[in-house]
Every structure is written in structure tokens, then in C-alpha cells.
Amino acid sequence: MSTPEEDIRPVVTVTLNPAIDQTITVEALRPGHVHRASAVRRNAGGKGVNVASCLADWGTPVIATGLLGSGNAAAFEALFAAKGIADRFVRLPGETRVNVKIADLAAADTTDLNLPGLTADADALDRVRRTLRELVLPGTPVLLAGSLPDGLPADSYATLTADLRAQGARVVLDSSGPPLAAALAAPDLPFCIKPNRHELEAWAGRPLPAAADLLEAARGLHRSGVAVVVVSLGADGALFVADGPALHARLPAVDALSTVGAGDAMVAGLIAAFGVDLPLEGVARLSVAFATAKLGCFGPNLPGADAVRALAGQVELSTL
């Protein structure tokens, strides 16, 4: 497996609806009761920002763009400065939303409360499109991630994907609901998507209770033109579908300090693997290792590269 320093290509992440994640830890969440928090953490986040943070920890050069409220941008600017992430966010008047995450230690689970955020318009999206035209070269991995802010149409990711495909970028899309459906119905498809089971069921419009059901849905998306389809399954690892045999990859269960952002870490692993052209087995190993390594860290962070590589070597692979 390539080391993080070898033959690295810069990555661009796009986050149109970032957030400041406030994680409140309680011993046991009991609805209707008063709780005393044991810890409170605030992190600049949103899917694309989290992915950029993990990639920076791995040693990948990252440029982050999207839409950011000028009223509380300091938390993001501090993160970007600390991790060496190039900040090309478009600033809008107002404040970026705050997401409250209640971490329940007894249940090893997290409850999310996502607050309202910025409202954007066509001009804001055009400013992001112009920024991407300046940043993206043929072969650049570009991540489009997360929900859309109020004011932007559901086909916004489809629009950006068409732009980026025309520039020769490899687009990784990590979204859900109408934005994902619109992107998958468009003529220009992303290179890779990473739905979880619930998101894939929502797109398919039916339950997918068995692994065979998930696999067939993923293979259908691959046949339609998505080069790599990854279905994340939480503690059960992930399915990987591309040309050739499909793979199931997982690691044994580990004690988790925080499950928040594990899916984003998996996306970071996918992009890190794509950046050095690993085969599907390498993509599966590295992305599952990223997600597992993240479980031992609070916030959008990874441990050292040696620890991640050690986990990648332990990933259990089976051919489907």
C-alpha cells in the first residue's frame, strides 16, 4: 500500500451546508429528564469539512470550498489554519448552522439535533462554480458532500457534477434524499457514491433487508454508470461494487470514543485511496481503516498514519 506521502494528488472538498458540531456527552440519555453533561466539544464540521480534516491528518493536500456564514467563520478558519487546509470558501452574510449531538455513553449512541442555517441562492451557487473552475484540473478528486442549504434546488449537485465532469474531475458524492436522487438521475454521473443502508433504501424506494438486496441495488447503480458504489453498514463494514467481483470489508468491533463522523472518515479513506490509484481491495482496506481509526478520536480527526495502515492490514475481506 502506498504511504501517504507517495504520489499524492490534491483534493477539493465542497460543503454547501457546513455546520458547527456541538457534541454533548451524557452518561445515559433519558427523554424528559434533566441531565448533567460530562463533556462538551465544539468542532467546525459538515461532511466535506470533516473529510478535509481527516485527509489533512493523513497527509493529503486539501482545498476546501463551499458556502460559509461570515458571522461565525472563526471556528472554521482556526481548523483550516491548524491542519493546513486551503480555505476557498465563499462567505455569505449570516451564521453557519449549529448541530447539537448528544452522545449517550450507556447506549453507545448519538442523537442529532440539526438547527437551521444559511439561506443560499443561485448567485451563491454560481460563485462556488466559478471557484471550482479555478481549482479543478483533469484527474482532480472532488468531493460533493452533505445536505443543501435552504434556497438551493435539489439538482444542485447534479449541476456541479456536470461542471466537474466537463473539467475531467473524479467526483465523489456523499449525500442523500432528493439531492442524491437528482444526481443519480442526471446524464453526468459521479465517479463514486457512498450511501448507507437507509440512504440506499430511500433512493430505491423499498426496503433492502438482506445483503443480497443491497448488493443488487449497488450493482444496478454501477451498471448505470457509477464507477464505484460503496454501501456503508456501520459496525458490519461496507460493500464495495466496481468492475469485477464485489467485496465486503470489515474490521472486528472496537471500543468507540465517538461514532460521530465515522462515515465521513470512510469517505476520506476512499478519496485517499483513489488519489494513489489503489485497486478495489486497497480502496476497501483503507476506507474501512479510516472509519475504524476515527472511532478512537473525538471530532473529525485521525490517529497517526502508522496506526491507520496497521488497521488496513487487519481488514477482513470477502468476495461476493
pLDDT in tens, 221-238: 999 999 999 999 988 999
Give percent above pLDDT 70 in the chain: 95
DSSP strand pairing (62-69 vs 90-92): parallel
Q: What is the pLDDT of residues 108-137, one digit of tens each?
A: 888 989 888 899 999 999 999 999 999 999
Q: What is the mean pLDDT of residues 146-157?
A: 97
Instruction: With cut-offs at 50, 70 and 90, classify the pLDDT of residue 256.
Output: low
Q: What is the pLDDT of residues 20-42, one digit of tens each?
A: 988 899 999 999 999 999 999 88
For residue 1, pLDDT over 80 is answered with: no
pLDDT at residue 245, rounded to an integer: 96
pLDDT at residue 6, rounded to an integer: 45
Which structural domains are found in the chain, ordered by start? 11-17+45-96+120-319 (3.40.1190.20)
Angle between helix axes 197-204 and 177-185 (nearest 10 degrees) is 60
pLDDT at residue 5, rounded to an integer: 42
d(CA 182, CA 150): 16
For residue 2, pLDDT over 60 is answered with: no
Q: What is the pTM of this model?
A: 0.90
For residue 259, pLDDT over 80 is answered with: no
Residue 47: alpha-carbon gap to chain centroid: 5
Active site annotation includes 264: yes
Q: Which of 109, 150, 264, 277 is catalytic?
A: 264
Question: How many Cβ atoms from other residues are within 10 Å of residue 102's Cβ?
Answer: 17
CB 46 within 8 A of CB 146: yes
DSSP for the chain reads: ---TTTT---EEEEESS-EEEEEEEESS--TTS----SEEEEEEESHHHHHHHHHHHHT--EEEEEEEEGGGTHHHHHHHHHHT-EE-PEEESS--EEEEEEEETTTTEEEEEEPP--B--HHHHHHHHHHHHHH--TT-EEEEES---BTS-TTHHHHHHHHHHHTT-EEEEE--HHHHHHHHHSSS--SEE--BHHHHHHHHTS---SHHHHHHHHHHHHHHT-SEEEEE-GGG-EEEESSSS-EEEE------S--TTHHHHHHHHHHHHHHTT--HHHHHHHHHHHHHHHTTSSSS----HHHHHHHHHH-EEEE-
Q: What is the mean pLDDT of residues 279-307?
A: 92
